Structure 1
Amino acid sequence: MRRILIVGAGQSGLQLALGLQANGYEVTLMSNRTADEIRTGRVMSTQCMFHTALQHERDIQANFWESQAPKIKGLGVSVAAPDSSRAVDWVGMLDGHAQSVDQRVKMAGWMETFAERGGQVVIHGAAVSDLDYFARAYDLVMVSAGKGELVSMFERDAERSPFSTPQRALSVAYVHGMGPRPEHPEFDAVRCNLVPGVGELFVMPTYTLSGRADILFWEGIPGGPLDAFQGVKDPSEHLALTLELLEKFLPWEYARSTQVELTDAGGTLAGRYAPTVRKPVGRLPSGGLVLGVADVVVANDPVTGQGSNSASKCAASYLSSILERGDRPFDEEWMQATFDGYWETARHVVKWTNAMLGTAPEHVLKLIGSGMRYQQVADRFANGFDNPADFENFFFDPEKTEAYLAEVAQADAA
């Protein structure tokens, strides 16, 4: 039986651990926190997982909260005009529903399930020196902890990393008491609100420790009016500032937020990081090799909501590669090839996310605006969040965008 060590108990690490365990591998999971510490701690992220990522969870029978989490059937885009009205407002319908589960709920539950199924969980904040010691006892070591000392083992890929500084200041609040969007009270949707030159607000229905909730997620351009949460430690102050900014920039979202309250004392988060792609193979002082997973090797800004989706897709891709390897060694060539297989998916996410962090060119503004007139355009844009590769066909190239919109207009007129 092949022995595998996974360092990091997030979406990718735990999904990989459960998948490998189900296929008969002897898996050790290393986490710096217990399941109870995760469950009672601060929120770790925002997340809205689309159909493909959700299916990867179903494939390993780990979709434990699917019947409880809100079924997200659409994705809407609003663009604020200078007078705080909406220059653009539409909702695209998803081909398969999306869902969000607070990672405190999911990661704690998955870790307990892994242990109940016979997996070994080691609670230890691993350093490079620890891995140097442990690596000798395992056939493969994978690092899925995207922060801290361990990431330093993986060299930044300068060609694939155009940014060296954070492109957004991030602020999150999990709340109860938010009203439905009056445009579609009969179904849930993620709402993406764009404030040109200022930043973005995402509203996501989610399932948390206390049941149904919503996530208010500001992405502010550094140095701008939304970059206001550094040093805010008090959760109630964090929420008050979130709502103050809502009232100023997005009155239509503020109108349904006047009765909200935090889900719990750990329901806020703020921070920032630079989007980075890293080389996938890390070298230990003794010469041993470790394979980077998900955010360790491809960390995107969350402006396109791809973090947990990419982590799930990476875990599924790596799982397939490990199973196909059989008894052959997990050498450097295999590690690079395994990452390259995932990169075929990840590269589309990186290209799209980096584009969305910049100023939108004229053809993209026209495309987004066309979602108001043509439901087909709104639906295709929404489903790109599940399959970002499709943006190559109608988003980046002005000629492809014009050809697509002309095709849509012709079909509409017929």
Structure 2
Amino acid sequence: MRKILVVGAGQAGLQIALGLQSQGYEVTLMSNRTADEVRSGRVMSTQCMFHTALQHERDLKVNFWESQAPKIEGVGVSVAGPDSSRVIDWVGKLDGYAQSVDQRVKMAGWMETFAQRGGQLVIHGAAVSDLDYFSRTYDLVLVSAGKGELVSMFERDAARSPYDTPQRALAVAYVHGMGPRPEHPEFDAVRCNLVPGVGELFVMPTLTTSGRADILFWEGVPGGPLDVFQGVKDPSEHLALTLELLEKFTPWEYARATKVELTDAGGTLSGRYAPTVRKPIGQLPGGGLVLGVADVVVANDPITGQGSNSASKCAASYLASIIEHGDKPFDADWMQSTFDRYWETAQHVTKWTNAMLSPPPEHVLNLIGAAGQLQPAADRFANGFNDPSDFENFFYEPEKTGAYLAGLAG
């Protein structure tokens, strides 16, 4: 029986641990917090998982919240004009629904499941020196803790990382009491509100510790009018600021947010990080090798909502590579090829996300505008959140965008 250590109990680490456990591997999972601490702590992220990522959870039979979480059937795009009116407003329908489950709910539940099924759960923050010791007793060490000292073991891949500073200042509030969009009250959608030159507001239905809620998520251009959350510690002040910005920049969203309140004292989050791709293999002081997972090796800005989707896809890809490898050694060549296999899908996410962080070129503005009149274009854009590789066919190059729109209009 092969012994595998997974460091970090997020979407990817837990999904890999549960998947390996179901295949009979001897798995140890290290988390710096207990399940109860996770559940009662601060929100960790925004997350909206699309069909492919959700299917990976179904395949492992760990989709415990599927019947409770809101079914997100569309992705809406609105663009604010200079006077804060909407100049563009449409919603694309998803082929398969998306869902958001607060990671406090999911990670706590998955940690408990892993332990109940006989997995060894170690509550301990891991330092490089700890891994040096553990690497001698495990066949493979996977590092999926995306922050802190461990990440420094993985070298930045400059060729794949065009940005070296944060491109957005992030601010999140989980709320109860959000009203439906009057245009489409009959189904749930993620709403992407673009405020040119200022930033973006995302509104997404979610399932949190206290039931159904909505996430209000500002992505502000650094130094701009949305970049005002640094140093705000008080949750009610954070919410007040969030709503003030809604009223100013996206009044159509503010109109349904007048009665909201925070889900709980831990329902806010703010911060920023530079989108970075790193080399996948970390070398320990004693010579052992560890393999980076998900955010550790490919961290994109959340503007395209791909974080938890990428983590799920990375976990599924790594899981297949581990199982297919049988009892052969997990050496550097295997680690590199395992990452390369994941990068085949991850590269599309990185390319699209980095494109969305820049001011949109004219042909993209034309595409977003045309989607208001051409429902197939709106639907295709929405489904790109599930499969970003499709953007290669109609998004990046003016010629392809033009030909696609001409074909629809013809």
Answer yes or no: same fold by TM over 0.5.
yes
- CA distance in 1 between counterparts of 2:384 and 2:189 reads 15
- CA distance in 2 between counterparts of 1:370 and 1:282 reads 46
Q: Report the equivalent of 2:123.
A: 123
Q: Report the equivalent of 1:225.
A: 225
- CA distance in 2 between counterparts of 1:137 and 1:88 reads 58
Tell me which amino acid in the other structure corresponds to 1:397.
E
* 1:399 and 2:391 aligned: no
Deviations 1:92-119 (A, max 9, x none): 0000000000000000000000000000
What does 1:155-166 align with in structure 2 at a 5 Å threshold?
155-166=155-166
3-state SS of 1:137 partner: coil
How much does 1:130 deviate? 0.3
- CA distance in 1 between counterparts of 2:226 and 2:51 reads 31
3-state SS of 1:253 partner: helix
- CA distance in 2 between counterparts of 1:305 and 1:23 reads 30
3-state SS of 1:125 partner: coil
- CA distance in 2 between counterparts of 1:124 and 1:84 reads 49
- CA distance in 1 between counterparts of 2:143 and 2:181 reads 40
Q: Report the equivalent of 1:51.
A: 51
Q: Report the equivalent of 1:85.
A: 85
Q: Report the equivalent of 2:268.
A: 268
Q: Report the equivalent of 1:42.
A: 42
- CA distance in 2 between counterparts of 1:88 and 1:324 reads 48
Tell me which amino acid in the other structure corresponds to 1:125.
G
Q: Report the equivalent of 2:384.
A: 384
Q: Report the equivalent of 1:154.
A: 154
3-state SS of 1:189 partner: strand
What does 1:272-351 align with in structure 2 at a 5 Å threshold?
272-351=272-351
How much does 1:382 deviate? 0.1
Tell me which amino acid in the other structure corresponds to 1:109.
G
Q: Report the equivalent of 2:236.
A: 236
How much does 1:59 deviate? 0.4
- CA distance in 2 between counterparts of 1:392 and 1:206 reads 30
Q: Report the equivalent of 1:16.
A: 16
Tell me which amino acid in the other structure corresponds to 2:205.
P
* 1:210 and 2:205 aligned: no
How much does 1:5 deviate? 0.1
3-state SS of 1:247 partner: helix
* 1:357 and 2:357 aligned: yes
Q: Report the equivalent of 2:366.
A: 366
Q: Report the equivalent of 1:113.
A: 113
Tell me which amino acid in the other structure corresponds to 1:347.
Q
How much does 1:123 deviate? 0.5
3-state SS of 2:189 partner: strand
How much does 1:332 deviate? 0.2
- CA distance in 2 between counterparts of 1:72 and 1:183 reads 15
Q: Report the equivalent of 1:169.
A: 169
TM-score (norm 1): 0.99
Tell me which amino acid in the other structure corresponds to 1:318.
Y
- CA distance in 2 between counterparts of 1:181 and 1:293 reads 37
- Runs of 5+ unmatched residues, structure 2: none
- CA distance in 1 between counterparts of 2:382 and 2:146 reads 28
- CA distance in 1 between counterparts of 2:252 and 2:329 reads 57
How much does 1:127 deviate? 0.3
- CA distance in 2 between counterparts of 1:371 and 1:268 reads 33
3-state SS of 1:94 partner: strand
Tell me which amino acid in the other structure corresponds to 2:212.
R
- Runs of 5+ unmatched residues, structure 1: none
- CA distance in 2 between counterparts of 1:164 and 1:84 reads 32
- CA distance in 2 between counterparts of 1:407 and 1:65 reads 41
3-state SS of 2:372 partner: coil
3-state SS of 2:61 partner: coil
- CA distance in 1 between counterparts of 2:294 and 2:33 reads 19
- CA distance in 1 between counterparts of 2:141 and 2:240 reads 44
Which of structure 1's runs of 4+ aligned residues deviate more than 6 A?
A: none
Tell me which amino acid in the other structure corresponds to 1:220.
G
Deviations 1:35-59 (A, max 9, x none): 0000000000000000000000000
- CA distance in 2 between counterparts of 1:370 and 1:348 reads 23
Deviations 1:193-252 (A, max 9, x none): 000000000000000000000000000000000000000000000000000000000000
TM-score (norm 2): 1.00
How much does 1:256 deviate? 0.1
Q: Report the equivalent of 2:178.
A: 178
Tell me which amino acid in the other structure corresponds to 2:58.
R
How much does 1:304 deviate? 0.2
- CA distance in 1 between counterparts of 2:84 and 2:161 reads 34
Tell me which amino acid in the other structure corresponds to 2:194.
L
Q: Report the equivalent of 1:100.
A: 100
Deviations 1:120-158 (A, max 9, x none): 000000000000001110000000000000000000000
- CA distance in 1 between counterparts of 2:180 and 2:15 reads 32
How much does 1:337 deviate? 0.0
- CA distance in 2 between counterparts of 1:381 and 1:22 reads 36
Deviations 1:146-200 (A, max 9, x none): 0000000000000000000000000000000000000100100000000000000
Tell me which amino acid in the other structure corresponds to 2:372.
M
How much does 1:386 deviate? 0.1
Task: State percent identity of aligned pairs.
Answer: 83
3-state SS of 1:93 partner: strand
How much does 1:16 deviate? 0.3
How much does 1:272 deviate? 0.2
How much does 1:366 deviate? 0.1
3-state SS of 1:170 partner: strand
- CA distance in 1 between counterparts of 2:383 and 2:316 reads 20
What does 1:249-260 align with in structure 2 at a 5 Å threshold?
249-260=249-260
